[in-house]
């Protein structure tokens, strides 16, 4: 009886264990599943925004770096234009002396300002051009050959003495016009120069006044009229005398009574001195012949150069060294125009 009871209880215990095992497993599974889900989901949620945010942060600077090459590409365009501006003058030859003189008269051709420059007052241009052609013919046939022969035959020291002599003759007239212009100091310098050269310089052949720091003064009545207010005057080219203005015609009339050469009574001596002075003046102009021959318009070149020099004589400040930048034929110590008393003309009284 006891053995069957034991076996029945053993069977019941085994059945109970068999039923309780799945229940225990089912109770443990819900607890472990949320843990597993939380352990897997949490890294996934953290990693996803981190990995997506990182490319966004990287792509923003990459976009800026893509713009920078566009900004960098702009300077190369300007650097390409700079060699063009630099290479242009390198292709040209060195300017000649005539070209440098042309620039000093008209200004640098690279500057776009010719239209703003004052135009020459030349309403009689047709007549002046015809007279210019006539004067050029006389110069080509007579004056220029004589000047070349003079330079070839006469030594330079003698030619310099001739130039000094004629220049010194006009110092008293320059002193008078300096006084009329209200420049007493300049008038004193002119008279001092004349006295020193006429005595120690053997009649003006030598120039000790320059060593004594007495400058050469060049004033005439035409300049005096300009200082008095006649600022602009018509350009006119006279036969043999060459470039002038209407103001200078009145100036020549005012200076004529004071010309020392006209006071020489002996006709042969006076005509010889006047002819020698003309040759001396033409010799000074030999230096500009090359520029005149290369000019597109010789008449306009001579007119503009002469008017510029004349304006400088009247209105320029001759107390400075600004004339050092001018060509030789525009400087004060040279006289490229025919003096009023240099033409060999017999006085009206026949003296």
Which structure tokens are listed for 160?
């310099």
Looking at the structure, do residues 204 and 288 belong to the same domain, yes or no? Answer: yes
Looking at the structure, do residues 164 and 297 belong to the same domain, yes or no? Answer: yes
Burial of 170 (0-12, 13-18, 19+ CB in 10 A): buried
Q: Is residue 64 part of a domain?
A: yes
Q: In angstroms, what CA-CA distances link 74 with 61, 65, 83?
A: 21, 15, 16
Q: Is residue 201 part of a domain?
A: yes
Looking at the structure, do residues 264 and 160 belong to the same domain, yes or no? Answer: yes
CA 87 to chain centre: 19
In angstroms, the CA 70 to CA 91 distance is 34
pTM as predicted: 0.61
Looking at the structure, do residues 19 and 134 belong to the same domain, yes or no? Answer: no
Which structure tokens are listed for 251?
């100036």
Looking at the structure, do residues 148 and 41 belong to the same domain, yes or no? Answer: no
Q: Is residue 56 part of a domain?
A: yes
Looking at the structure, do residues 249 and 132 belong to the same domain, yes or no? Answer: yes
User: Domain range holding 143?
Assistant: 103-109+121-330
Q: Is residue 34 part of a domain?
A: yes
Q: Identify whether the C-beta of residue 206 lies closer than 8 Å to the C-beta of residue 217.
A: no
| SS3 call for 236 | strand
Q: Tens digit of pLDDT per residue, the chain (351 long)?
A: 445 544 555 555 565 555 555 544 444 444 444 444 444 444 444 444 444 444 444 444 444 444 444 444 444 444 444 444 444 444 445 555 555 554 554 444 443 344 444 578 999 999 999 999 999 999 999 999 999 999 999 999 999 999 999 999 999 999 999 999 999 999 999 999 999 999 999 999 999 999 999 999 999 999 999 999 999 999 999 999 999 999 999 999 999 989 898 889 899 999 999 999 999 999 998 988 888 888 899 999 999 999 999 999 998 754 444 444 555 545 544 555 666 555 554 443 433
CA 334 to chain centre: 24
In angstroms, the CA 195 to CA 186 distance is 14
Q: Is residue 342 part of a domain?
A: no
Q: Give the total number of structural domains in the chain.
A: 2
CA 312 to chain centre: 18
Q: Is residue 343 part of a domain?
A: no
Looking at the structure, do residues 183 and 281 belong to the same domain, yes or no? Answer: yes
Looking at the structure, do residues 189 and 64 belong to the same domain, yes or no? Answer: no
Looking at the structure, do residues 139 and 271 belong to the same domain, yes or no? Answer: yes
Q: Is residue 82 part of a domain?
A: no
Q: Is residue 293 part of a domain?
A: yes
């Amino acid at each position: 009886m006891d053995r069957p009871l034991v076996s029945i209880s053993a069977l019941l215990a085994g059945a109970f264990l068999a039923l309780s095992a799945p229940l225990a497993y089912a109770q443990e599974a819900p607890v472990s599943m949320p843990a597993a889900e939380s352990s897997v989901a949490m890294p996934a949620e953290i990693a996803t925004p981190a990995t997506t945010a990182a490319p966004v942060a990287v792509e923003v600077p990459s976009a800026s770096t893509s713009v920078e090459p566009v900004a960098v590409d702009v300077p190369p365009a300007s650097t390409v234009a700079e060699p063009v501006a630099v290479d242009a003058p390198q292709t040209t030859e060195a300017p000649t002396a005539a070209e440098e003189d042309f620039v000093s008269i008209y200004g640098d051709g690279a500057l776009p300002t010719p239209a703003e420059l004052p135009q020459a007052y030349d309403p009689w241009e047709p007549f002046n051009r015809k007279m210019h052609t006539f004067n050029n013919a006389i110069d080509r046939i007579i004056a220029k050959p004589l000047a070349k022969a003079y330079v070839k035959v006469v030594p330079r020291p003698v030619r310099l003495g001739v130039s000094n002599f004629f220049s010194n003759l006009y110092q008293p007239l320059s002193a008078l016009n300096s006084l009329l212009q209200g420049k007493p100091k300049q008038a004193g310098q002119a008279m001092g120069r004349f006295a020193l050269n006429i005595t120690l310089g053997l009649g003006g052949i030598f120039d000790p006044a320059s060593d004594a720091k007495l400058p050469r003064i060049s004033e005439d009545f035409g300049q005096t009229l300009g200082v008095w207010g006649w600022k602009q005057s018509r350009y006119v080219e006279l036969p043999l005398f060459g470039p002038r203005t209407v103001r200078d015609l009145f100036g020549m009339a005012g200076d004529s009574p004071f010309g020392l050469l006209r006071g020489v009574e002996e006709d042969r001596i006076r005509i010889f001195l006047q002819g020698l002075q003309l040759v001396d003046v033409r010799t000074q102009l030999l230096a500009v012949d090359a520029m005149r021959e290369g000019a597109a318009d010789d008449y306009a070149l001579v007119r503009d150069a002469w008017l510029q020099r004349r304006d400088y004589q009247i209105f320029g400040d001759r107390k400075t060294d600004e004339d050092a930048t001018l060509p030789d034929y525009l400087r004060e110590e040279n006289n490229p125009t025919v003096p009023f008393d240099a033409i060999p003309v017999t006085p009206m009284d026949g003296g």
